[in-house]
Amino acid sequence: MKRQVYNPYMPSFEYVPDGEPHLFEGRIYLYGSHDRFDGAEFCLNDYVCYSADEKDLTDWKYEGVIYRKEQDPRNQNIPADTPPNKPKFNVEVKNENSLNPPGIHAMWAPDVVKGLDGRYYLYYCLDYLPEIAVAVCDSPAGQYEFIGFVRHADGTPLGRREGDLIQFDPGIFIDDDKTIYLYSGNAPMHKDQFVPQKGSQVMTLCEDMLTLATEPRHLMPDIHEAEGTEYDGHAFFEASSIRKINGRYYFVYSSVRSHELCYAVSDRPDEGYHFGGTLVDIGDVFLNDRAEEEALNCLGNTHGGIECANGQWYVFYHRQTNRTNFSRQGCAEKIYFDETGKIAQAEVTSCGLNSGPLQGEGIYPAEIACQINRNGKQVHSNPLVMKEDYPYLTQDIEDQEPTPELLEQDRIQPVMYIKNIKDGTVVGYKYFMFDNLNRVTLRIRGEAEGRISLFVDTQQKVIGQIPVSVFSEEWVPVTVNTESVQGVHALYFRFEGNCQLDFLTFTLES
């Protein structure tokens, strides 16, 4: 069986959201935040980097930790009695290791650019602090070192001067004429919110990569400015990312919907953008006119960017796990441009970065599901909303937080699975190339008196059905013989009856 890549494309123990992909020297480098399994807040870990040869996206290399949060001077010399960062959302905390060390601010979504001097510059913000910090390295995935804050010409850090907006989710881009553009900001999500220090901005930098050459200017419309315009319902919220493609500028952002990435297009990098559409939505909302209440997966924020590898463009984004917004995993899908430069909304799949459909035989982890819902519905990824009424992705607590040394030695692989499968749950996978599929074996645990039905494509054609009677705390196999299936198809499992199950793997046999 040849090597393949699934969604999520990193190991199941990795939680790297806000993925910003860049092609440097023939490799795609993925920079992002770094969540912690069962974390009580966003981005509790240090920055790590993964990379892959642009001609082989099935093989992602762990480059290691590239920047640690204590390297930022704002995280140094903090009194020992400073209370830890507390969760700013109403969440369950089941693990004391899920909290940040005392007084250490989390590093949020970064971006990286190759500077005019050939070095690599990393731009980031610390959670709710107002500045943009910069670190530099001689290689794309080496050890970055702090060099300073983005600053006004008089040396005042941007964000600290009266009238400055709070900086957020920086995006960095150098145009062909060597002008250095910096994008930043987030905006209100609801119309009843008025926050004067928030908004989308663009500015330019001097060659030192720190000093403002031009002061920030307003760029994208927020929810108050978008009403009645082409941006209505998809106004800017956060996550600025910029690419130049065929002479035009594509601005990717997370909208006020939060669970979608949108794009806008302009002939200039700093003004004149027109709304393009939705790039990807983690619940496939809007695709084929699907409404939010029909979301195929649990909803939550997403953030990412686009990049071309070996002639194919991809959108990188993240999904939610563990009934929270704080354990997010990176995914990616192919995207396609039409003759006018418009990008069709990508479908969430199990095989995004793979060269084509997955092979229709072999053992697959249940976690690569691209659809997990119950009775055709899913809700926001939050324990108070989901309760134990919906299925969700998770891993066992004792498997969490492997050390960097163990990761580098590839000696540990925590197990992720689908938990809390109840009557009416559908788990779906897209897509496989089948060559006479005739048997499927699932590994499940829990309690169930019911049946499992297998479908292809529209969930209308049943290809197999098996009664299930399981009462086990250990993983046990259940096998169903199927009608012969050939060609490219989606595969769905529907669970019916009195059950509460976990789902680990499935094996496809011809």
- My answer on whether 346 and 396 are in the same domain is no
pLDDT at residue 403 in the model: 52
Alpha helices in 145-201 (DSSP H): none
Mean pLDDT, rounded, for 176-197 = 91
- Euclidean distance between CA atoms 27 and 140, whole angstroms: 10
What letters, b where the CB count within 10 A reaches 16 and e where it falls short, cover 257-287? bbbbbbbbbbeebbeebebbbbbbbbbbbbb
- Between residues 206 and 195, the one the model is more confident about: 206
Grade residue 410 by pLDDT with cuts at 50, 70 and 90. very low
Number of domains in the chain: 2
- Euclidean distance between CA atoms 167 and 3, whole angstroms: 42
Strands 180-184 and 274-281: unpaired
- My answer on whether 179 and 110 are in the same domain is yes
pLDDT at residue 193 in the model: 78
- My answer on whether 93 and 211 are in the same domain is yes
- Euclidean distance between CA atoms 68 and 143, whole angstroms: 9
Grade residue 91 by pLDDT with cuts at 50, 70 and 90. very low
Q: How many Cα neighbours within 13 Å face the side chain of 213?
A: 11
Average model confidence (pLDDT) across the chain? 92
Determine which one of 14, 18, 164, 502 is catalytic.
18
Q: Residue 264: which CATH number?
A: 2.115.10.20
Domain assignment present for residue 300? The answer is yes
Structural domain including 412 reads 362-509
Determine which one of 35, 54, 222, 238 is catalytic.
238
- Between residues 52 and 39, the one the model is more confident about: 52
Q: Catalytic residue at 18?
A: yes
- My answer on whether 279 and 317 are in the same domain is yes
- My answer on whether 336 and 402 are in the same domain is no
Residue 150 has pLDDT above 80, yes or no: yes
Domain assignment present for residue 367? The answer is yes
- My answer on whether 136 and 237 are in the same domain is yes
Residue 166 has phi, psi (to 5 degrees) of -70, 130
Grade residue 191 by pLDDT with cuts at 50, 70 and 90. confident
- Amino acid 272 reads G
- My answer on whether 210 and 168 are in the same domain is yes
- My answer on whether 51 and 65 are in the same domain is yes
- Euclidean distance between CA atoms 334 and 353, whole angstroms: 7
pLDDT at residue 177 in the model: 98
Which of 359, 379, 412 marks a domain boundary? 359
- My answer on whether 436 and 351 are in the same domain is no
- My answer on whether 346 and 288 are in the same domain is yes
- Between residues 83 and 488, the one the model is more confident about: 488
State pLDDT tens for residues 417-447. 999 999 999 999 999 999 999 999 999 999 9
Poorest-pLDDT segment among 45-59, 66-80, 250-264: 66-80
Residue 81 has pLDDT above 70, yes or no: no
Domain assignment present for residue 395? The answer is yes
Q: pTM, whole model, 2 decimals? A: 0.94
Residue 96 has pLDDT above 60, yes or no: no
- Residue 249 contacts by C-beta under 8 Å, 6 or more apart in sequence? 242, 243, 265, 266, 267, 268, 269, 273
Residue 1 has pLDDT above 80, yes or no: no
- Residue 7 contacts by C-beta under 8 Å, 6 or more apart in sequence? 319, 331, 332, 333, 348, 349, 350, 351, 352, 353, 368, 370
CA 179 to chain centre: 29
Three-state DSSP class for residue 329: strand
Grade residue 407 by pLDDT with cuts at 50, 70 and 90. very low
- Amino acid 257 reads R
**How many of the other CB atoms lie within 10 Å of CB of 411?**
10
DSSP state letters, 41-65: SS--SPEEEEEEETT-TT--EEEEE
Q: Please give the torsion angle defined by the CA atoms of residues 393, 398, 400 and 401, in that order, rounded to the nearest 10 degrees.
A: 180
- My answer on whether 25 and 76 are in the same domain is yes
- Euclidean distance between CA atoms 20 and 241, whole angstroms: 8
Percent of the chain clearing pLDDT 90 (strictly above):
86
Percent of the chain clearing pLDDT 70 (strictly above):
91
State pLDDT tens for residues 259-291. 999 999 999 999 999 999 999 999 999 999 999
Q: Residue 440: which CATH number?
A: 2.60.120.260
- Tokens 């307003």, located at residue: 218
- My answer on whether 90 and 110 are in the same domain is yes
Domain assignment present for residue 490? The answer is yes
